[in-house]
Amino acid sequence: MMALSSAPGPIGVFDSGYGGLTILHGIRQLLPEYDYLYLGDNARAPYGTRSFDVVYSFTRQAVLKLFEMGCHLVVLGCNTASAKALRSIQQNNLPHIDPKRRVLGVIRPTVEAIDTLTQSRHVGVLGTPGTIKSESYPLEIHKLFPDIQVSGHACALWAAIVEAGEAQSEGADYFIQKDINALLAKDHEIDTIILGCTHYPILLPKIRKFVPEGINILAQGNLVGESLKDYLQRHPEMDAKCTKGGTCTYFTTEAEEKFAESATTFLSEQVSVQHIELGNNQTNNYSMETKEDKSRTTEVFQGTSWEAELVKGLLESNGIACMTRMGSAGVYSLTIGNDYSVWVFEKDKAQALEIINNRTETHEEDVE
């Protein structure tokens, strides 16, 4: 058992990056009197394309850090972490860390709200590839409402578009329309769409543009706030462990200035933030940072069907991204904004990693 302070402390809210700020905002509107610690693992975001093990390990580190900083209650303000890590942390780790501390997620409160919203009993879910692949939404929905038909669609780039500050750009329209159409094509009777990623409320004006009238769009911030309020009322022993000074302190694993600048997009207010280290930033052997890319988050993964769409969507829409083909092995580098790179390889992972590791700044062929 770890030596953690038993003194009351703030409520922790964790997200892979900025998205959880939409959850924090919703919570604070309903529960402004409590103290909060927000922790964004921006240096390792996005989580949405990462494996179960990696998301579990990162989230566990973050929860532990928030406990060490005095929190007794932590909300995972991230669907990917809630889908992939919450249950494991609750079952495997909490009993050893401190059985009285609690970690809550965002999926259950969202699911509870759909019953009264859907008339057709056909619901759609938009989320990161990790959340959709985990099947957490259909599983949780069917536990409570077995009669509801659920269709999910992974929006591979939406969170990255928001993180890159491109939520208002024309380039975003292409992907938002394409992904909404793909979801609605799966089931024409959908009358409620869950935005199953905390970044997506930032895209709401554009989402509304492409979702036909009469379909409910469900964002999570208020729902999580209401659920937390209810939880604290039902658990006075936990409520007594949460301090009430109305403060909010922000921590990020990225550069402080970068977080402060981007956080205003999510909160419409200035925040002051402190840098914090969580574990080791080396994520797994698919992800790496090189000297020339020091300030970038770099993801590497296989995505054979991506190239045509990315080139078409991103390059046609005023160049929010630059896509480059490296050599002849089908390895592509896609850069979104200044600090996010995705490497996509078609076939041979080993060959792809060799090219990426040995790459120079002279690209052999530009798709542009």
**Active-site amino acid positions:** 78, 197
Is 78 near ligand DGL (CB under 6 A)?
yes
Q: Which amino acid is at 17?
A: G
**The only residue of 80, 252, 283, 333 in contact with ligand DGL, by rule CB under 6 A:** 80
Query: Which of 118, 131, 253, 333 is close enough to bind ligand DGL by CB under 6 A?
Result: 131
298 binds ligand DGL (CB under 6 A): no
What is the identity of the amino acid at 150? V
Distance CA 73, CA 352 (A): 43
Whole-number Å distance between alpha carbons of 181 and 142: 24
Number of amino acids touching ligand DGL (CB under 6 A): 17
Which residues in 181-240 contact ligand DGL (CB under 6 A)? 197-199
Residue 110 is a binding residue for ligand DGL (CB under 6 A): no
Taking the C-alpha atoms of residue 184 and residue 190, their distance in angstroms, rounded to an integer, is 7
Minimum Å distance from CB 276 to ligand DGL? 17
Per-residue tokens: 172: 């975003």
Task: Choose the stretch contacting ligand DGL; rule: CB under 6 A; options: 3-11, 39-47, 307-315, 325-333.
Answer: 39-47
CB-wise, 23 or 148, nearer to ligand DGL?
Answer: 23
Residue 177 CB burial class (10 angstroms; 0-12, 13-18, ≥19): middle
Report how far residue 57's alpha carbon sits from residue 116's, in angstroms, rounded to the nearest whole number.
36
Q: How far is the CB of 47 from ligand DGL (least distance, A)?
A: 4
In three-state secondary structure terms, 141 is: helix
Bridge partners, 341 (sequence order): 298, 335
Taking the complex as a whole, how short is the minimal distance between the CB of residue 265 and ligand DGL, in angstroms?
14
Measured from the CB atom, is 137 or 242 closer to ligand DGL?
A: 137
Pick the binder of ligand DGL from 110, 128, 134, 298 (CB under 6 A). 128
Contact pick of 10, 46, 152, 171 for ligand DGL (by CB under 6 A)? 46
Contact 312, 291 (CB under 8 A): no
Which region, judged by CB under 6 A, interacts with ligand DGL, from 72-80, 94-102, 225-233, 235-243?
Answer: 72-80
Rounded distance between C-alpha atoms, residue 197 and residue 126, angstroms: 7
**201 within 8 A of 217, measured Cβ to Cβ:** no
Query: Which residue from 78, 88, 10 is spatially nearest to 44, judged by alpha carbons?
Result: 78
Q: How far is the CB of 316 from ligand DGL (least distance, A)?
A: 25
Contacts with ligand DGL by CB under 6 A lie at: 15-17, 19, 45-48, 78-80, 128, 131, 159, 197-199
